[in-house]
Amino acid sequence: MAEKEKSREFPELEEFYDVDADGEKSLILHNDNVNTFQFVIESLIDVCKHTTEQAEQCAYLVHYKGKCDVKQGSFDFLRPMRHELVERGLNATID
């Protein structure tokens, strides 16, 4: 099995992230006291492509700290994610 893992090729990060050091922004998810943990977790998995563990950690941080940086990248990269989170009834901003 280790040979299969070694033989897999992973694409460069630039294919997934539009990273610009000067223009890097953060997608911030804010606590709303309305949506369930499960809904927030599922939304982060669907929209931000988080793993289950990442999404759970973010959901807890949002709940206990009031907000959490859930994704980083350029404004143009984050804008559709923010739009989709807001369409789902979550409170998200790009800072």
Q: What is the pLDDT of residues 6-24, one digit of tens each?
A: 444 434 444 444 444 458 9
Overall number of domains in the chain = 1
Answer whether residue 67 is part of any domain: yes
| Angle 53-90-66 from CA coordinates, rounded to 5° | 70
Q: Alpha-carbon distance 64 to 43, whole Å?
A: 18
Answer whether residue 5 is part of any domain: no
Answer whether residue 16 is part of any domain: no
C-alpha distance from residue 8 to each of 3, 13, 77, 82 (Å): 9, 15, 26, 32
pLDDT at 38 over 90: yes
Answer whether residue 17 is part of any domain: no
Answer whether residue 26 is part of any domain: no
Mean pLDDT value across residues 35-52: 97
Residue that wins the pLDDT comparison between 12 and 46:
46
5: confidence class by pLDDT, cuts 50, 70, 90: very low
Q: Which domain holds residue 71?
A: 33-95
